[in-house]
Structure 1
Amino acid sequence: MPTRSAAVLTSGTASAARIFVAALAFTSAYVGFSAYSNASSAPEPAARVTLSARELPVTAPAQQAATPGQVTVSVLTGAGAGCAKSYVARSLVVNADPAEPVSYHWRLARWSPSARTWRTYLADHDGFAAPERTVEWLPQVSGNPGWYRVELEIDGGKTLRSDRFQVSC
């Protein structure tokens, strides 16, 4: 009987080994087929996008060349209805020491007939660190007609003033 049990054990082990090899071959084939399927699949077609554009009129004047020592003021057309008007003030600021930053202060001044002096209506400040820069400011006047001017004070320098302009409704 020892030979018979050894033969059954050997045939059982052989069957188990065959089943294991078959399962391994099936798994390898499945993995290989999946990789081939993913590698050969075509990308999804690109979605078609249609772009449209429309022309808009230019609402700002062409940028004027700024000069040092002068402040220019222009009205932005179409910026507001009635008394609401937007302006652009420009000047070229030259930094006396390019290694140091320069700061500057804008002031929109309104003429006061009763006090007979220019009074601050709006103010802003900014700065930069470069040899020179064209600086801009966009003040807005709404519902307050009168005479105005823009002043630019550069730290360590003099105050530059624009020509006066009238805001009316």
Structure 2
Amino acid sequence: MGTRSTAVLVSGTANTAKVFVAAFAFTAAYVGFSAYDTASSAPRDEHTVTLSARETPVTTPMTSPMTTPIGSSVSPAAPGTVTVAETRSDAGCAKTFTARGVVVNPDAHGTALYTWRLARLSPDGHVWRDYLVDHDGFAGTRESVDWSPRVTGNPGWYRVELSVRGAGTVKSRRFQVTC
């Protein structure tokens, strides 16, 4: 009986030693790979970039026949018109506008689908090009709709267009964004 338990004890110790050696080899390989990876990720040469900007003070708020100064509310629109007001001006050349219109559903029993477009007059002054576009819709006969497009770093002439599927397009008067 003593020989048999000694044989089990020796074979168990051998298996434990094999597992220990395998675990040690795995740990050593992992640590070595991690050290290699860390060494190969040494910092690259740094390049310094100097940015400059010119700031021009705003002496009067931007207004045009169809816009209102910042902080004033946008007047409610009537069907067939789009009103636009500058509602926020951030540092630099970032301006947020609120456009408002009334959509009358051409199919009172269906869904009214409409599209907002912020169009920018091309630099040559001949073609209006889409700058931002948004789509929406509602079920019902009539609804007042709002949209808040944002212009960042792109001065020029703009207008807002509201297109209703099956009913046509209404355009605001143009307005100028300056920086």
TM over 0.5: yes
1:118 aligns to 2:128 (yes or no): yes
1:143 aligns to 2:153 (yes or no): yes
Output the CA distance in 1 between the equivalents of 2:163 and 2:155.
24
Output the CA distance in 2 between the equivalents of 1:136 and 1:157.
18
Output the CA distance in 1 between the equivalents of 2:124 and 2:76.
37
2:141 to 96, 109, 131: 131
Q: Once the 2 structures are TM-superposed, how far is the Cα of residue 63 of structure 1 from its aligned partner?
A: 4.2
Output the CA distance in 2 between the equivalents of 1:99 and 1:158.
18
Q: How big is the alpha-carbon RMSD for the aligned residues of Structure 1 and Structure 2?
A: 1.5
Number of matched pairs: 110
Output the CA distance in 2 between the equivalents of 1:131 and 1:122.
27
Output the CA distance in 2 between the equivalents of 1:63 and 1:110.
21
Which ranges in structure 2 are unaligned for 5 or more consecutive residues? 1-69
Which AA in structure 1 matches 2:80? Answer: G
Output the CA distance in 2 between the equivalents of 1:163 and 1:114.
19
Q: Structure 1's 108 and 63: CA in aligned 2 closer, same or farther, altered over 3 A?
A: closer
Higher Cα radius of gyration: 1
TM-score norm. by structure 1 comes to 0.61
TM-score norm. by structure 2 comes to 0.58
Q: Once the 2 structures are TM-superposed, how far is the Cα of residue 60 of structure 1 from its aligned partner?
A: 4.5
1:70 aligns to 2:81 (yes or no): yes
| 8 Å contact from structure 2 (residues 76, 83) kept in 1 | no
Which ranges in structure 1 are unaligned for 5 or more consecutive residues? 1-58
Output the CA distance in 1 between the equivalents of 2:141 and 2:99.
20
Partner of 1:17: none
